[in-house]
Amino acid sequence: MRASLFAVLLATTAGAFAQDGTIYPLAPIAEPNAIKLGTGGVNNQPASESWFKQWGEPMVRNVTTATLTPYLPAPGKGNGTAVLVAPGGGFRWLSINNEGWKVAQALADKGIAAFVLKYRLHPTPDSVDAFKQSMDRMFSSLNDAPGAPRPAMPSLDNQLADAEAAYALIVARAKEWGVDTKRLGMMGFSAGAGLTMHSTLNSKTMKLAFIAPIYGGMGPVDVPKDAPPMFTAIAADDFLFKGQFGVVKSWFDAGKPVEFHLYQNGGHGFGLGYPGNTANGWFPVFHHWLDVNGLLKAKP
């Protein structure tokens, strides 16, 4: 698992700071429906939460207070299935719109209750320029020659605690939110896919009905005996892929249901998809996968 999460960090860093991805400061975005999870703060965090825009998308960093934002189907349209959605960003920022709010709304439009997890992040410098420089240095170190020392993997204890608290809150308010707790899964993108996998492999309290790590680490893992069905997708031109099928083979070898889609193109961080690449079609396929697995029939 260490190798696959390290790869997530590599991919998210390069994807966000390559080429002409200029970073623009952004005023904080109101989140009126966000529910604080009460999991604590972040040690040694001198900077306050701040927002920026890149590639036309709002993003947030230095998150010290974890929250959960529900996106519920219209009254009478819910089917009972629910998804905890974890955006990516190398555990140092969150692509909260592209890989969070947009995805959650798309799920809710299909009758699926969705919940965006704004999890705590590792500290980054206060100023935008210093933030970019720190990420550039990190990416440079990750691109060192083979055998060069690698930065240590940061702990994901805070992020796991946030995911567990979010799961517990959804279960506690399941009746109010129209959630069938036996049909509660988790979806994540990039680092969020890493958190989805980390939660699946390590949580003692989350009993996920299914998982959907999207363009996450592809390295092999030790699959738990009670591992849920997995749907996963990645683009062939995502440098995180590198011809690896380890996590898929791990699920297959463990005899667990797995569906894998390798798209010809789409790069890294495509979210719901963009016109002009084949990865644009993954969300309808995921919806079909839920349907075939009996997860879209309306809750009685």
Average pLDDT, the chain: 89
CB 271 within 8 A of CB 283: no
Say whether 71 sits in a helix, a strand or coil.
strand
Q: What gap in Å lies between CA 209 and CA 217, rounded to an integer? A: 21
The per-residue pLDDT for 34 is 98
Q: Is the pLDDT of residue 298 over 90?
A: no
Confidence of residue 143 (pLDDT cuts 50, 70, 90): low
Query: Which pLDDT score, from 0 to 100, does residue 210 have?
Result: 98
Mean predicted confidence (pLDDT) in 215-235: 97
Query: By percentage, how much of the chain surpasses pLDDT 70?
Result: 87
Dihedral sign of CA atoms 244, 246, 251, 254 in order: positive
**Band of the pLDDT at 128, cuts 50, 70, 90?**
confident
Q: How far is CA 235 from the centre of its chain?
A: 16
Of residues 153 and 134, the one with the higher pLDDT is 134
Instruction: Give the mean pLDDT of 115-125.
Output: 96
> What are the tens digits of pLDDT across the range 150-195?
556 679 999 999 999 999 999 999 999 999 999 999 999 999 999 9
Query: pLDDT tens digits for 271-296?
Result: 999 999 999 999 999 999 999 999 99
Q: Mind listing the domains of the chain with CATH numbers?
A: 2-292 (3.40.50.1820)
User: Nearest CA to 254 among 201, 189, 193?
Assistant: 201
Between residues 136 and 8, which one has the greater pLDDT? 136
Q: How many Å apart are CA 33 and CA 68, to the nearest integer?
A: 8
Greater pLDDT, 36 or 239: 36
Average pLDDT over residues 33-61: 93
pLDDT, position 237: 96
- Give the mean pLDDT of 29-49: 94
Strand 93-94's sheet: what is its strand order? 24-26, 50-54, 57-61, 93-94
The pair phi, psi for residue 72, each rounded to 5°, is -105, 145
pLDDT at 13 over 70: no
Q: For residue 146, what pLDDT is reported? A: 47
Give the confidence band of 7 by pLDDT, cuts at 50, 70, 90: very low
Report which DSSP code applies to 299: P
Contacts of 169 (CB under 8 A, 6+ apart): 35, 37, 68
pLDDT for the residue 220: 97
Give pLDDT tens digits for 227-269: 999 999 999 999 889 999 999 999 999 999 999 999 999 999 9
